[in-house]
């Protein structure tokens, strides 16, 4: 294949033929098993990383614990300055990091650049936030007393991220955690370890240039067993985990068992409702990008299209026509719309989903299949597929991380469509396409969408930094990124100051000495 500048990008990011799987700044140490990172783009080996052993993990935790003692005492606006510098480094390395994301994960180069831009945006947000970590002041019922609350850093924040957003989700957590005074220990997906090393190299430069402790940002690598080091560790008061609902339930149980805190961003089964008053052109754009963007491997990917029966055929035909125009291939080639799935296991899940929807009585209207031949040597390229189905099908209730879109039909009022949309276990992202104000307001009302994200006349995929990102039900209830999501990374403390010479007791109790 054409290199598309990958070799230069890896060199720019300091990602070579390496074996460091644990890191605090520039000090790398690992004694674990070898992890090989193969690109789903062409099947080639990018690099090898050693997994973190238990001994390695202890070194990382010692460094993080010591670094926290320094970092928490630095004023928040000064911590924000470090995050600002990190954002500037990301701007300098945006092209290189975007290419690595595209090559190691398989999303399009434009999406890779967009992911790095999200990192830059959250840094900008966090810089402003560093001067706005507000507490409240309350009126005391006791004369001569003042009450207020303040927020303090938690300590070590453990971050477990997924392959589909190998750098952005980490930054959503770390940028906020850092300005809040926390230090971070990150376990990226074992499917995208080199993206993690690249990010660690970038923040290590910033910390070194500012003579700050390396352990403010720590990296560990490995599979779920390495993740368990974090979930079982009482030194980690908060674990932020992104991944499947199955994984999230395991993490939640483990962390709750030691009375720790979790921030969970789990599965999605996202739907777009299309009413008779919808703009069909906008609907097609939103639905197609939502369903095939990142090859259907976003937690916000559109899985279900719920269409009113009066316009069902019109919308179906328009979407099918758009699918026939999709170009599948190397994601670094900007002429292509769809890249590969992350690995051959994902391909098997995709094939199984198409088989099961037919077994349950569904009908494939845009054929799927695995692509082979020149340009598809990795075996990870598949055709985006569309199936007519019912919401009650088991496979429709399940989240398949692949470009499979289910068309569902509804009749009557928009409330019927909302009921279908909500009747799944997940509750992440949702959307309605309508120019009817009443329908839009019903969708957004207390009796409307039960998802953490509800959009009108845009798709389910994507989110802005300024709003809190997350979902309900089996999506986990966590919130990351904007709004007041910062509060999860801090502990709240209520303070009372008595500036009198008397000590009144509660409920008028007398205790004279």
Q: Phi-psi category of 238—alpha, beta or left, where left has phi over 0 and alpha has psi -120 to 50?
A: beta
| 299 belongs to the catalytic site | yes
Q: 171 near 304, Cβ under 8 Å?
A: no
- What six digits make up the tokens of 438? 């009443």
145, containing H or E segment:
strand 145-153
Task: Exactly one of 123, 199, 299, 451 is catalytic; name it.
Answer: 299
Question: How far apart (Å, rounded) are the C-alpha atoms in residues 185 and 214?
Answer: 11
Q: Which of 115, 190, 214, 265 is catalytic?
A: 265
3-state helix, strand, coil in the chain (%, to 5): 40, 20, 40
End-to-end CA distance of the chain: 87
Is 265 annotated as catalytic?
A: yes
Residue 66, beta-bridge partner list: none
CA atoms within 13 A on the CB side of 79: 28
**Which residue in 277, 285, 265 sits closest to 459, CA to CA?**
285
Q: Which token pair is 499?
A: 């500036």
DSSP letter string over 91-131?
HHTHHHHHHHHHHHH---HHHHHHHHHHHHHHHHHHHHHTT
Rounded to the nearest angstrom, the gap between the alpha carbon of residue 434 and the centroid of all alpha carbons in its chain is: 28
Q: Is 141 exposed, middle or buried (0-12, 13-18, 19+ CB in 10 A)?
A: exposed
Q: So which residues are the catalytic ones?
A: 265, 299
């Amino acid at each position: 294949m054409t290199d598309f500048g990958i070799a230069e990008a890896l060199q720019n990011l300091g990602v070579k033929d390496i074996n460091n799987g644990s890191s605090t700044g520039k000090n790398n140490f690992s004694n674990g098993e070898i992890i090989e990172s193969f690109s789903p783009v062409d099947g080639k080996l990018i690099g090898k990383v050693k997994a973190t052993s238990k001994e390695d993990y202890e070194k990382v935790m010692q460094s993080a614990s010591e670094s926290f003692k320094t970092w928490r005492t630095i004023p928040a606006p000064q911590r924000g300055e470090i995050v600002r510098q990190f954002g500037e480094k990301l701007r300098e390395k945006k092209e290189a990091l975007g290419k690595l994301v595209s090559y190691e994960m398989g999303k399009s180069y434009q999406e890779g650049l967009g992911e790095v831009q999200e990192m830059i945006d959250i840094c900008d947000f966090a810089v402003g936030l560093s001067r706005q970590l507000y507490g409240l002041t309350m009126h005391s019922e006791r004369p001569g007393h003042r009450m207020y609350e303040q927020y303090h850093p938690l300590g070590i924040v453990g971050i477990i991220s997924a392959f589909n957003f190998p750098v952005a989700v980490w930054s959503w957590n770390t940028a906020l955690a850092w300005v809040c005074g926390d230090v971070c220990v990150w376990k990226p997906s074992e499917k995208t370890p080199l993206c993690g090393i690249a990010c660690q190299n970038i923040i290590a430069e910033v910390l070194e240039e500012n003579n700050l402790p390396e352990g403010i940002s720590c990296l560990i690598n490995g599979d779920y067993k390495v993740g368990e080091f974090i979930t079982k560790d009482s030194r980690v008061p908060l674990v932020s985990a992104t991944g499947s609902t199955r994984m999230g339930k395991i993490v939640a149980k483990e962390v709750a068992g030691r009375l720790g805190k979790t921030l969970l961003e789990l599965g999605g089964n996202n739907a777009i409702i299309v009413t008779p008053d919808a703009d069909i052109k906008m609907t097609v754009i939103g639905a197609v990008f939502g369903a095939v963007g990142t090859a259907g491997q976003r937690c916000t990917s559109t899985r279900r299209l719920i269409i009113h029966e009066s316009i069902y055929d019109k919308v179906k035909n328009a979407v099918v026509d758009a699918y026939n125009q999709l170009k599948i291939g190397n994601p670094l080639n900007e002429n292509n719309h769809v890249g590969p799935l992350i690995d051959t296991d994902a391909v098997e899940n995709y094939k199984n989903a198409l088989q099961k929807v037919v077994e349950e009585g569904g009908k494939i209207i845009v054929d799927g299949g695995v692509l082979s031949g020149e340009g598809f040597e990795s075996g990870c390229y598949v055709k985006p597929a569309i199936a007519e189905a019912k919401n009650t099908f088991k496979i429709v209730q399940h989240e398949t991380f692949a470009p499979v879109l289910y068309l569902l039909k509804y009749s009557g009022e928009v409330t019927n469509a909302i009921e279908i949309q909500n009747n799944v276990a997940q509750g992440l992202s949702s959307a309605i396409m309508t120019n009817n104000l009443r329908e839009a307001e019903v969708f957004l009302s207390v009796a409307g969408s039960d998802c953490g994200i509800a959009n009108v006349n845009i798709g389910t995929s994507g989110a802005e930094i300024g709003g809190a990102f997350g979902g309900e039900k089996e999506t986990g209830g966590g919130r990351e990124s904007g709004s007041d999501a910062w509060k999860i990374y801090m502990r709240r403390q209520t303070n009372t100051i008595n500036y009198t010479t008397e000590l009144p007791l509660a409920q008028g109790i007398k205790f004279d000495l």
